[in-house]
């Protein structure tokens, strides 16, 4: 039976706060991969290597050639709510980096064994630091850039570990995250290996080639370039012809200011534009990149930042709908003229 007196209210420890936050920020290995890739891009990397073991649960090791972290800043990089990316609310509202919450590394370090190795361009050698309460930085070796090595994910949170799926399923999610990021940055080379075997390797390229590599020949043989601009909105990419539609919605990549999003409003706008040319059980493939003034979109809606909120969502919906409709209409006009069916 419960005692009548209330339990005292206590301040949670930083470690426990991070572990609770980890449930949202890094709910599975692919979320760790996403956070680390975004950090590498924010650091200006042009070359990123992803090594996974056992679906990422045993190991996620990501190396970049970005600007690195000076040794005196390394403990802060692992601290909660510590970031180099914003310093004020005004900066948050105009954020141009993928990250800004300053909680990914702290969250990951609270549920795994994390080692950070980094070297800035002007440093004589690299430095490294391990663990979630790490404060000692030790000399290390390595080229300029940063390596984050994450071992034994959720080793200390067995309840979460139980929710993980098979190694292949977790690897599949990780590989999809790498593809999403790689599609957004053809100017960066990526390689992905699993259990010691190279799975994907994309050299620096343009979006036409990168999307052909990632979405396959079927898409590259039946796609239309799309481009539109209106006021503060700019859009470009490739959309698949109705003939290249799929039974699954797994070829849909929408980016807002370089960030992959799965946004109901945007998906609806594209879907609606395809309505007349596609059966309800078929899904178009596309790689669409929308750019707008960061002040016109709120990316701080969810910790994973996969949803966004537009200041003028109606205008965005119409813009996307019309751009896709117009692009599809051009081809059906030429197709009908050339070969009426």
Please give the Cα distance from 281 to 263 (Å, whole number). Answer: 20
Q: Which is nearer to ligand ADP, 46 or 84 (CB)?
A: 84
* Rg for the chain, CA atoms, rounded: 22
Hey, which residues does 288 pair with through a beta bridge?
Answer: 237, 254
Q: List the single partner that 146 binds among Mg ion, ligand ADP, none, CB under 5 to 8 Å by kind.
A: ligand ADP
- Picked from ligand ADP, Mg ion, none, the partner binding residue 263 (CB below 5 to 8 A depending on kind) is none
Distance CA 147, CA 339 (A): 55
Please list the residues that pair with 62 across neighbouring strands: 50, 148
Q: How far is the CB of 108 from Mg ion (least distance, A)?
A: 10
Going by C-alpha positions, the residue among 57, 285, 229, 297 that lies closest to residue 155 is 57
As a whole number of angstroms, the distance between CA 226 and CA 285 comes to 13
- 303 binds ligand ADP, rule: CB under 6 A: no
**Does residue 132 belong to the site contacting ligand ADP (CB under 6 A)?**
no
- 133 to 162, contacts with ligand ADP by CB under 6 A? 146
CB-wise, 108 or 239, nearer to ligand ADP?
108
Rounded least distance, CB 40 to ligand ADP, Å: 5
79-87, 88-96, 264-272, 298-306 -> range binding ligand ADP (CB under 6 A): 79-87
Among 29, 55, 99, 303, binds ligand ADP (CB under 6 A): 99
Q: Which stretch binds ligand ADP (CB under 6 A): 102-110, 177-185, 240-248, 307-315?
A: 102-110
Rounded Cα gap, residues 313 and 75, in angstroms: 40
Q: Does 294 bind ligand ADP (CB under 6 A)?
A: no
Element (H, E) at 107: helix 104-111
Number of residues forming the site for Mg ion (CB under 5 A): 3
**Local structure of 231: helix, strand or coil:** coil
Token duo for residue 195: 């259990």
Q: What are the φ/ψ torsions at residue 196 (nearest 5 degrees)?
A: 85, -5
- Binding residues for ligand ADP, rule: CB under 6 A, are 35, 39-40, 43, 64, 66, 68-69, 77, 83-85, 99-106, 146
Contacts with Mg ion by CB under 5 A lie at 39, 99, 104
């Amino acid at each position: 039976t419960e005692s009548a007196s209330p339990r005292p209210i206590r301040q949670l420890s930083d470690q426990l706060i991070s572990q609770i936050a980890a449930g949202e920020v890094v709910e599975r290995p692919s979320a760790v991969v996403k956070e680390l890739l975004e950090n590498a891009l924010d650091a200006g990397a042009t070359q990123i290597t992803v090594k996974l073991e056992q679906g990422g649960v045993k190991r996620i090791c990501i190396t970049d050639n970005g600007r690195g972290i000076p040794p005196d800043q390394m403990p802060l990089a692992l601290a909660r709510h510590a970031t180099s990316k914003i310093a004020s609310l005004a900066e948050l509202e105009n954020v141009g980096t993928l990250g800004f919450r300053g909680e990914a590394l702290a969250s990951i370090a609270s549920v795994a064994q994390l080692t950070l190795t980094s070297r800035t361009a002007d440093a004589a050698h690299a430095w490294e630091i391990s663990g979630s309460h790490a404060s000692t930085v030790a000399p290390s070796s390595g080229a300029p850039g940063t390596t984050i090595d994450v071992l034994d994910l959720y080793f200390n949170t067995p309840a979460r570990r139980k929710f993980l799926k098979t190694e292949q399923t977790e690897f599949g999610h990780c590989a999809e995250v790498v593809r999403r990021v790689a599609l957004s940055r053809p100017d960066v080379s990526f390689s992905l290996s699993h259990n010691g075997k190279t799975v994907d390797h994309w050299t620096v390229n343009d979006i036409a080639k990168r999307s052909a590599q990632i979405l396959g020949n079927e898409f590259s043989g039946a796609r239309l370039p799309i481009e539109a601009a209106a006021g503060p909105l700019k859009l470009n990419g490739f959309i698949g012809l109705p003939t290249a539609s799929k039974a699954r919605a797994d070829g849909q990549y929408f980016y807002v200011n370089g960030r992959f999003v799965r946004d109901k409003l945007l998906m609806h706008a594209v879907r609606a534009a395809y309505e007349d040319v596609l059966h309800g059980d078929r899904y178009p493939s596309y790689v669409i990149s929308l750019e707008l003034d960061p002040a016109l979109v709120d990316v701080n809606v969810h910790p994973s930042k996969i949803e966004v909120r537009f200041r003028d969502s109606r205008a965005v919906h119409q813009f996307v709908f019309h751009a896709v409709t117009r692009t599809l209409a051009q081809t059906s006009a030429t197709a009908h003229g050339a070969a009426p069916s």
